[in-house]
Every structure is written in C-alpha cells, then in structure tokens.
Structure 1
Amino acid sequence: MATVDECRTALHGLAAKLDENVEARGKLDFERTLACRVTDLGTAFHARLSGGRLLDIADGDDPRAKIALTAASDDLIALLAGKLDVTRAIASRQISVKANPFDLLKLRKLL
C-alpha cells in the first residue's frame, strides 16, 4: 500500500508531465474540477483541469467535482505512472471514474 505522500507526489508528477507536453495539453482543452479518492488510505485530493493542465492540487475531497476518480493507492500510482491501462482498470473495477462520457474520452488521452 502506497502512502498519502506517494499519491500526492504522483499527482504532482502528472501535473508536471502535462506542463511539459504541449501536445497533450491541446487534446485536453477543457475546464473541469477533479476529485481523486484513494479508498485504502481514506483520503482524497482535488484539483482543476484547465487548458490541458492539472492545477491547484490540494488535499481533501470535492463532492461537486465534475470528474471523480476512485482507486486504491497502488492502482492510482500505477495508473499515473502509465503502468496500468485505464480501460482495463475500469473494466476490471480496479478504478472507478465518474464523468460525462465525452469527458471520459478526453481523459483517456491523459491517462
């Protein structure tokens, strides 16, 4: 089981990758709030997707978030590191993503 700090670091790592990858930012040009809930640690994070960037990452849940990702800590880290295929993870219920179907298509480009 990963720690809260490892999950936070993984989210910040994703944000840094998006900042560096101009091509990916162009594919994710939309504004949404994001909640990331880590089930085995009983914690959550929230942020904003804006202009293809992940901004304002903070501790705590956002129950009104337009996109909600729920996963165990190890699955979250593997997903953000590119070691876990998002489609398979959703199909096998390793992770859960609640979002508008069109947002899911755009997010797939991110993960």
Structure 2
Amino acid sequence: MATIEECRAALGQLAANLAKAEGGVKDAAALDRSLSCRITDLDITFVGRLCGGRIEDVTTVPGVPKEKAQIRLTMTGDDLVALVGGKLNFAKAWGSGRVRLQAGLRDVLRLRSLL
C-alpha cells in the first residue's frame, strides 16, 4: 500500500509533468478548476487547484472534504502511483472502476488528452 508521502510525491510529479506539457496537453491543463484526489485506502483527500497548467495549493484533509471540487478523482494510493508512473492506463482503470473521475462534461472532454 502506497504511503501518504508516496502519494504526495506522485501528485508532485503529475504537477511537474503538467507544467512542462506542450500543445494540446498544455491547452487541456490550462483549466482553472478546484481539484481533489481522494485516496480511499488511506482515507485522505488531496485538494488543490488546477490553474494555468499547474496544480497549486495542494493540502491534505482527512476523509472526504466538506466542499466538493469541480474535478474529483478517487482511487487507491497504489493506483495513483501507478498512473503517474505510467504503469496503469487511465482509460482502462477508469473503465474498470479502479479510478473514478467526476467533473462537468466540458471538463471531462478537455481532460481526456491529459488522461
């Protein structure tokens, strides 16, 4: 089971990947939306903001936050680490229910190039 530190590092790597993205990926990441990533096996949620192609102001809250983010991901810590590390395909994980994505339809369409 991935630790909180490993999950935080994976999110940091994702943020770094977004910051150096180019083309369509950079355009998709240019959303300005609240973002949360719930790690079910650790019962924590990372909350922050996707803004200008970066993930900013990331904090950790226990359980489920009171306020719902505009873009919400839910998965295990191992799946987060595997996704960011390129060992888990997002589409397959999403299709099988291992990863949940909740967002408005427009956001999902823009985010598909990121995922």
TM-score w.r.t. the length of structure 1 is 0.90
Tell whether the 8 Å contact from 2:31 to 2:50 is kept in structure 1 after alignment.
yes
Alignment partner of 1:98 is 2:102: yes
- Equivalent position SS for 2:7: helix
Root-mean-square deviation (CA, aligned residues, Å) is 1.5
**Structure 1 stretch displaced more, 63-72 or 24-33:** 24-33
Partners of 2:57 and 2:17 lie apart in 1 by 15
Q: Who is 1:30 aligned against?
A: 31
Residues 1:19 and 2:23 are matched in the alignment: no
* Matching residue's letter, 1:36: C
Deviations along 1:42-80, one digit per CA (max 9) or x if unpaired, are 111011111222111111254320011000111111112
**SS of equivalent residue, structure 2 residue 26:** helix
Identify if the C-alpha distance between structure 1 residues 81 and 106 changes in structure 2 by more than 3 Å, giving closer, same or farther.
farther
The amino acid across from 1:65 in the alignment is A
- Corresponding residue SS for 1:109: coil
**TM-score (structure 2 length as normaliser):** 0.87
Counterpart position of 2:9: 9
What count of residue pairs does the alignment treat as equivalent? Answer: 111
Identity score, percent: 42
**What residue ranges of structure 2 are gaps of 5+ in the alignment?**
none
- Structure 1 residue 31: deviation in Å? 0.9
Cα shift at 1:110: 1.8
CA contact (8 A) 1:25 1:53 kept: no
Post-superposition offset of 1:95: 0.8
Which amino acid in structure 2 is aligned with residue 6 of structure 1?
E
- Quote the Cα distance in structure 1 between the aligned partners of 2:82 and 2:60: 20
